[in-house]
Structure 1
Amino acid sequence: MTCHVGSPGLGVLSDDESPVFESTAADSMADVRKDLLSDFSCISPGLGQASLISAHEGTDKVMVYVRIRPFTEGELEKKEDQGCVLAEDQESLVLRAPKDSFSMKNVERGHGQSVHKFTFSQIFGPEVDQKQFFDGTMRQVVKDALNGQNWLVYTYGVTNSGKTYTIQGTSKDGGILPRAISLIFNSVQDRLYKSSDLKPLSNEVIWLDSKQVRQEEVKKISVLSNLREEQLVTPMKSGGNESQLRAGTSMSFDSGIGGLSCTNNNQTSSQLEETTSHWGLQEAVSLQEHADVQISIWVSYFEIYNEFVYDLLEALPSGPNRKRTTLRLCEDRNGNPYVKDLNWINVQSADEAWKLLRVGRKNQSFASTHLNQNSSRSHSIFSIRILHLQSNRDFSPKISELSFCDLAGSERCKNQRSGDRLKEATNINTSLHTLGRCIAALRQNQQNKLKQNMVPFRDSKLTRVFQAFFTGRGKSCMIVNINQCASTYDETLHAMKFSAIASQLVQAPPMKLNLPTIQSLIKESSILANRSYTDDEDAEEGSDEEGSSEGDITMFNREELLQVIENLKVLLIKKSQENLDMEATIRKDVCNEMMEIMQEQKTQLSEAMEDERELLEEMYEGRLENLKESLTNYYKRELEVR
């Protein structure tokens, strides 16, 4: 049994671009585009304009949270604390340009302004710890994912602003990702599906036989063995040239859990045990699923490095000329992007998911940069797929996905001296800029409804992965991390401008299944003879209840749904034949019209040639008469002379 499932699938703007957004629906060809509104995200009006969200009742704005990183002792010694960032309240943030910043120099030249004010969903100050931040931002997201909603959570900000720390945290104080994993398993508990015979593959779910199940178990053991081998290996020491570091020292805020690999064996083991027991204290959330629904949890971890996609759960090749295997971004029949040949690992506990996170972190691309000694040089995405399985297996499992994306930090390319670091910074900034261009294109399409521009999702691997979240197949949440240092004010200002634009996005309405159509197909099939629809009133009541259930098809049995598929095949053949007949008729009409036009042109050309022939005959007859008269006169004069 195989069921196709659409995977979910979002830049720095210039100073003169104002964050103004409206709806993406166009007025032209309304009869065609009205049905496409569910495939596109709706965007709220711009800052300072009257809100028009009432036209899209039931939609919510994209949640954009801001987290301000505290100063380190070294930054305070360098006098980086110049009051550049100020949170007026829980939603308003003010940036003031420091004396030596590029923005202040522009103000002195008469361009721009020295103070900028932004509004976000909620602002978390330096005093907020990891648990408070998780409870205020992610608890509802995890609950929605457990109840069938697709979610993307991504961090944005300059290098060394605390993005990786926010997502992954440390061994003693985990971030939103390990806490979310713990909350998921604490909420599932007895409903956890113990077997690995059900697996998400690309954009579909397949049932595995016993041999394939054993292969999956061997694969998981092999991946987890990399972590044990890592504990026995002495950490790499940085050489003269800044080669890529794998899980270096955890001194900076962007280092995350990678610092675990730099400890000795005993310390690492104790930290892991402490972490496992600590996350076990997380509370659970309630599930809306029926009691007979079981949950199977699969995870994947990949990175986008220099516009190449790598599986972080794949073991690094050994040898002097080792080369990592690159993966391709593909699209299914519905146009949903997915990573082909990506490893999905079944996890039975939060401990296993935590270990896989550490394995992927060890394989991720890190390097020392001007702003961070252990900076992520790639966009990493950790995805959790939750399969909702009916106990009787009569139905294909529903899938919800929760993805955490740790975007690489933007950084000035001129600060990079090495060729590799310069190339990495260029690719990072280009992908983030493409993200901003996609937002700008959506805004332009909204403002100019008669002229729709193409959104450049395909210009970057990152935007292709995020594309589905713009088209209503999931929801997104943005976490903006701020570095308060005066030396990074200009980069922080650009990040705030993009974040202010993203905060105006409105979640697109979810794509719903047209249940009345399915019910009508079932009613037309002969299989309904054994059903309990005894009169029209009961059928109407059932239709009303189904309409309020938001497309729940679990009320039908497997045979009925198979009959629906057969009916749909008949309808598809019928519609295809109608389209062929229509195409043949149109071709015939076009050919007849073209023949008439060609015949008319032929007649007009013949008439024009006839008119031209008559004109030429008259012209040459006149010339002949003139020549004849001239010759006659000439000879007359000659005769007279003689």
Structure 2
Amino acid sequence: MRAADGQVRLLLDGFHFNDWDTKVALFTHRPAVHALKHVIQECVSIEGPDTVVLRAPRTCQSKSLPQTAQRFTFTQVFDPEASQRKVFEGSVRGLVRDVLIGGNCLVFTYGVTNAGKTFTFLGPEHDSGLLPRSLSVIFNSIEGRVYPRSDLKPQRCRDFTRLTTEQQAAESSSKRSLLRLLKESDRSQTSGRSTFLDGSSLSTDSSVSEESFCLDVDSNVRFSVWVSFCEIYNDNIHDLLEQVPSGQQRRTALRLSQDVKGNSFIKDLRWVQASSSEEAYRRCSRTQNSGERLKEAGNINTSLLTLGKCISAMRVNQQRKIQHHVPFRESKLTHFLQFFFCGAGRVSMVVNISRNSACFDETLNVLKFSALAQKVRSSTLSRCHKM
């Protein structure tokens, strides 16, 4: 399965915040035949196993844009025929293994509009992306070794609390109340990107079930599974485990249900993708909307700008003895990611660009940001939490 025409996927694979430098891999999708010659010659081409070349289109007359070819080097460049499974095994599988031995991992996407972020992260039903494959491996690997009690709860992504009997009862009551609200409320409705969780095994209708595999896990280890999904949307963090509003404006949500034996399972799991700033602005211009839509575009711009400032500050700190402030708290997005950026886990940043020559300037900015992120070393990141 190929992405839409003119899409390129960049995988910044694993900022390891202990001893490794940032690894960066690139994946390309071949555009349609009628566009291949124009796009490849004038915008993006691949040189060797680890280099991509960006050239300004011939029609571009802007003096502010570079007229010479620019090369960007990555850890690995996947060829256009690389499958979703190959990309997963080459970038995220190591992170999943770390999760199974108690590590913390984060995967997030970055890129321009229509560059293939959804395809890379979710994929279509018959060719699942990074997220469904990761969930499949996790739950297949821990099947039969789930901690039977419900007295453990994660706390602030760093530790866990042991619940008292009263707290367990309160959690169970909240769960039952939620299930009553959602139980079989939309049996007739189906989702194109549903993921079902029954007990401790994950199954989908996609290629994941055909290619499912497990990672070796210590047989003496027991896993406590706590379902907690968050979305970062319009610079706000929402809990998906809440009642879904009725009507046309209902949000994408995690829906729970129960089988005839009372076992809980995830009936419907759909994922929210925040619009890019340029898409939000275009929507405002097209519909003449203002207020919330315009604020949405501003929030997205602010979050991405702050992310770039944080990466730049960490790069500067890497080169100087006197450490500068890293502005994690200027955005809820970067504040949410600070825990990982400060040495508490591994991060895989998936960067998407477009081969379309009309997006040359945005593509150049994305590649420059990727190149900067690649230069950030773990020694800098491990100190940023002290600031």
CA distance change for structure 1 residues 285 and 355 in 2, over 3 Å: closer, same or farther? same
| 2:343 counterpart SS class | coil
| 1:310 counterpart SS class | strand
* Alpha-carbon distance in 2 for matches of 1:486, 1:497: 17
* Alpha-carbon distance in 1 for matches of 2:342, 2:355: 34
* Alpha-carbon distance in 1 for matches of 2:183, 2:118: 20
Contact residue 223 and residue 315 of structure 1 kept, 8 A: no
Q: Which of 134, 139, 147 is residue 180 of structure 1 equivalent to?
A: 134
The residue that corresponds to 1:66 in the other structure is: 26
How far the C-alpha of 1:323 sits from its partner, in A, is: 10
The gaps in structure 1 that reach 5 residues or longer are 1-40, 44-57, 235-257, 262-271, 325-342, 365-375, 378-407, 512-642
CA distance change for structure 1 residues 135 and 188 in 2, over 3 Å: closer, same or farther? same
RMSD: 3.9
1:603-629: CA deviation from partner (whole Å, max 9, x where unpaired)? xxxxxxxxxxxxxxxxxxxxxxxxxxx
| 1:498 counterpart SS class | helix
How far the C-alpha of 1:426 sits from its partner, in A, is: 2.4
CA distance change for structure 1 residues 80 and 112 in 2, over 3 Å: closer, same or farther? closer
* Alpha-carbon distance in 1 for matches of 2:246, 2:366: 39
The residue that corresponds to 1:442 in the other structure is: 314
How far the C-alpha of 1:274 sits from its partner, in A, is: 5.4
How far the C-alpha of 1:509 sits from its partner, in A, is: 9.4
Q: Which of 284, 295, 300 is residue 223 of structure 2 equivalent to?
A: 295
CA distance change for structure 1 residues 134 and 294 in 2, over 3 Å: closer, same or farther? same
The amino acid of 2:21's aligned partner reads K
* Alpha-carbon distance in 1 for matches of 2:317, 2:203: 52
1:75-117: CA deviation from partner (whole Å, max 9, x where unpaired)? 949x7665411121221111111134xxx433xx376334211
How far the C-alpha of 1:461 sits from its partner, in A, is: 0.6
The residue that corresponds to 2:295 in the other structure is: 423
CA distance change for structure 1 residues 124 and 199 in 2, over 3 Å: closer, same or farther? same
The residue that corresponds to 1:466 in the other structure is: 337
CA distance change for structure 1 residues 444 and 206 in 2, over 3 Å: closer, same or farther? closer
The residue that corresponds to 1:112 in the other structure is: 66
The residue that corresponds to 2:11 in the other structure is: none
The residue that corresponds to 1:90 in the other structure is: 49
Question: Could you tell me the TM-score, scaled by structure 1's length?
Answer: 0.47
The amino acid of 2:215's aligned partner reads V
The amino acid of 1:357's aligned partner reads L
| 1:143 counterpart SS class | helix
The percent of aligned pairs where both chains have the same amino acid is 40
Contact residue 137 and residue 214 of structure 2 kept, 8 A: yes
* Alpha-carbon distance in 2 for matches of 1:96, 1:157: 18
Contact residue 136 and residue 203 of structure 2 kept, 8 A: no
Write the mapping of 1:500-515 to structure 2, written as runs, cut at 5 A.
500-508=371-379
The amino acid of 2:225's aligned partner reads I
Contact residue 153 and residue 160 of structure 2 kept, 8 A: yes
How far the C-alpha of 1:183 sits from its partner, in A, is: 0.8
The residue that corresponds to 2:359 in the other structure is: 488
Q: Which of 332, 357, 360 is residue 269 of structure 2 equivalent to?
A: 357
| 1:487 counterpart SS class | helix
Write the mapping of 1:187-586 to structure 2, written as runs, cut at 5 A.
187-202=141-156, 203-208=158-163, 212-213=167-168, 216=171, 222=178, 226=182, 228-232=184-188, 259-260=192-193, 275=205, 278-279=208-209, 281-287=211-217, 289=218, 291-318=219-246, 355=267, 357-358=269-270, 361=271, 364=272, 376-377=273-274, 409=276, 411=278, 415-416=282-283, 417=285, 418-419=289-290, 420-450=292-322, 452-508=323-379
CA distance change for structure 1 residues 70 and 312 in 2, over 3 Å: closer, same or farther? farther
Contact residue 277 and residue 301 of structure 2 kept, 8 A: yes
CA distance change for structure 1 residues 65 and 421 in 2, over 3 Å: closer, same or farther? farther
* Alpha-carbon distance in 1 for matches of 2:237, 2:279: 24
The residue that corresponds to 2:198 in the other structure is: none
Contact residue 155 and residue 163 of structure 1 kept, 8 A: yes
1:313-366: CA deviation from partner (whole Å, max 9, x where unpaired)? 32223489x999xxxxxxxxxxxxxxxxxx9x9x9xxx98864633xx2xx3xx
1:429-463: CA deviation from partner (whole Å, max 9, x where unpaired)? 2211111111222233344434x421111110111
CA distance change for structure 1 residues 123 and 315 in 2, over 3 Å: closer, same or farther? farther
How far the C-alpha of 1:485 sits from its partner, in A, is: 1.5
Contact residue 437 and residue 456 of structure 1 kept, 8 A: yes
Question: Could you tell me the TM-score, scaled by structure 2's length?
Answer: 0.75
CA distance change for structure 1 residues 227 and 275 in 2, over 3 Å: closer, same or farther? farther
Contact residue 111 and residue 352 of structure 2 kept, 8 A: yes
Contact residue 156 and residue 409 of structure 1 kept, 8 A: no
CA distance change for structure 1 residues 312 and 213 in 2, over 3 Å: closer, same or farther? same
1:153-188: CA deviation from partner (whole Å, max 9, x where unpaired)? 112111111112212222222111111111112222
Contact residue 199 and residue 207 of structure 1 kept, 8 A: yes
| 2:96 counterpart SS class | helix
* Matched residues, number: 346
The amino acid of 1:415's aligned partner reads R
* Alpha-carbon distance in 1 for matches of 2:87, 2:293: 32
1:247-283: CA deviation from partner (whole Å, max 9, x where unpaired)? xxxxxxxxxxx6448xxxxxxxxxx975279427412
CA distance change for structure 1 residues 127 and 215 in 2, over 3 Å: closer, same or farther? farther
* Alpha-carbon distance in 2 for matches of 1:191, 1:430: 43
The amino acid of 2:306's aligned partner reads T
The residue that corresponds to 2:6 in the other structure is: none
